[in-house]
Amino acid sequence: MKDNNEPPPPLPGHDALAPRSRTRGDPAPEDRPLRILLACNYDPANAATVCDHINAFPRYSRHEVHVLSKVGEIFEGLDLANFDAVVVHYSLALALETYVGPRSRRALAAFPGAKAVFIQDEYRFVNATLAALQACGVDLVFTCLGPAEAARVYGPLRTEQVLTGYVPHPLLDYPPIPLAARRTMVGYRGRTYPAWHGEQGREKIRIGKLFKRDARRFGLTTDIAWSERSRLYGRDWLDFIRNCQAVLAVESGASVFDFDGAVAARTESFAALVERPHPIPGLGRKASYETLRDRFFAGREDEIDIAQISPRVFEAIALRTLVIAYPGRYSGVIQPWRHYLPLDKDHGNMAQVAAVLREVEQVAEIITNAYAEVALNPANGYAAMIDRFDALVADLAAERPAASLDRCVGPAFRKAFPVSLVSNPHALRRPGLLRRMASRLLRPLRAWRRLRRLLR
């Protein structure tokens, strides 16, 4: 349950920690906090769940976590010897040089301290990721895979299983809107994934399409969409969930692990080449999923199980909205009929689901169970994840050289690598279209001004 109903600790700024008095070269006491550099791509205008994950490190860690938000040559102008450990967040794909450049990879490889990487969507760029992990000498990989599956993918590398996301504590403070006052009965926002993601990728669209089709027969109001322009972020996404009596959900992940990238390259190339566009929507022709599957990834689905509970499920439960989901394991966190309303994958029990939605007290009971037993369970919170992270990184750092300098937390570091952490990214309003366009136009100008200041 929630700890004495106390709010989570305040989120410190990445520069809020004062430098220690230990002089250069002095041995570090065993019980002192480690100095950890967390390299990430912190973008509050994008999915709030990514910011939730990053926020958890400075908020809950017992160590000194310094957030570096940068893409490309992320370590340029930075002496990694100032840190006991370096962690690369999943918002930076280590496999891609556009996220972590070659000089930064060499700097990470030369770093003698503890090195850890968080990885998500790890069914992509598998071989490239493995090569980068080996080249950089990474000690620990935080993965979405269970131990047996992780051993198949990462071999002898040390791994630790984590979820893609946890309960965002700021959402627990929002009072529930009465079910009768909510504008929509069932809502959903999906995304069309490439065919090579397999059946697990298709489910994320199928559940929305079939439910929207069948809802008319049962008189259910819906707000269901799956185009990119219909996606919601920040406060818009939060308001959407709170004003739905129920939201749809499936397990996260994909069915196909593409180790060398060939499956994606062949499938997407063939699909693009045989497509027959037409100016009238609906008259164009595309290769069917079955055609692409049989040609390029027949027998490759479900070789490695990566299915997990989605952060969306935690968000809905925290905001006291009913979850309607395809049956699955959901990382052992939620149970059908107690924490969510199960919807058969063929939608054969749609009449039963519609009947339950009209039983306000039954819906309220499932929501209440989920909130009390899932959202308020400390094991499902970010603090529990960070406790494990702290212990594992401390074990690694104990065998490595301590940080050699203390000046890294001073004004020069803060000026060179500014970042402003948002305590509750779910409360942000996304900038309007004109403001986003203006920001893109002004970005090169701001970069030029920074360059001129550096040259001076």
Quickly list DSSP for 39-64.
EE---TTS-HHHHHHHHHHHHH-SSE
pLDDT (0 to 100) of residue 150: 96
Q: What percentage of the chain carries pLDDT values higher than 70? A: 85
The yes-or-no verdict on residue 21 having pLDDT over 60 is no
* Residue for token pair 């001004």: 449
* Residue for token pair 């939605």: 357
Angle between helices 126-136 and 102-110 (to 10 degrees): 50
Determine the 3-state secondary structure of 340 from DSSP.
Answer: strand
The yes-or-no verdict on residue 5 having pLDDT over 60 is no
* pLDDT tens digits, 67-104: 999 999 999 989 899 899 999 999 999 999 999 999 99
The pair of structure tokens assigned to 299 is: 């027998």
Q: Looking at residue 456, what DSSP letter applies?
A: -
pLDDT (0 to 100) of residue 109: 97
Determine the 3-state secondary structure of 142 from DSSP.
Answer: strand
Q: What is the pTM of this model?
A: 0.86
Burial (Cβ within 10 Å: 0-12, 13-18, ≥19) of residue 323: buried
Taking a C-beta distance cutoff of 8 angstroms, is the pair 388, 160 a contact?
A: yes
**Of the candidates 316, 190, 168, 191, the residue with the CA atom closest to the CA atom of residue 244:** 316
The yes-or-no verdict on residue 417 having pLDDT over 60 is yes
**Of the candidates 162, 229, 220, the residue with the CA atom closest to the CA atom of residue 191:** 229
CA-to-CA dists, residue 282 to 190, 277, 366, angstroms: 20, 9, 40
Looking at residues 409-420, what average pLDDT do you find?
Answer: 76
Q: How confident is the model at residue 17 (pLDDT cuts 50, 70, 90)?
A: very low
**Cβ–Cβ contacts within 10 Å for residue 407, how many?**
12
Q: How confident is the model at residue 136 (pLDDT cuts 50, 70, 90)?
A: very high
- Which H or E element spans position 451? helix 433-455
CA distance 414 to 387: 26
Q: How confident is the model at residue 450 (pLDDT cuts 50, 70, 90)?
A: low
Compute the chain's Rg from CA coordinates: 23
Q: What percentage of the chain carries pLDDT values higher than 90? A: 77
Mind giving me the DSSP string for 384-448?
HHHHHHHHHHHHHHTTSPPP--SGGGSHHHHHHS-----S-GGGPPPPPHHHHHHHHHHHHHHHH
CA-to-CA dists, residue 179 to 36, 189, 194, 224, 363, angstroms: 45, 20, 36, 18, 9
* pLDDT tens digits, 209-247: 999 999 999 999 999 999 888 999 999 999 999 999 999
**Of the candidates 162, 126, 169, the residue with the CA atom closest to the CA atom of residue 147:** 162
pLDDT (0 to 100) of residue 23: 38
- From start to end of 239-321, where are the E strands? 244-249
pLDDT (0 to 100) of residue 22: 38
User: When comparing pLDDT for 235 and 31, which is higher?
Assistant: 235
* pLDDT tens digits, 246-298: 999 999 999 999 999 999 999 999 999 999 988 887 788 999 999 999 999 99
Half-sphere exposure of 90 (CA within 13 A, CB side): 20
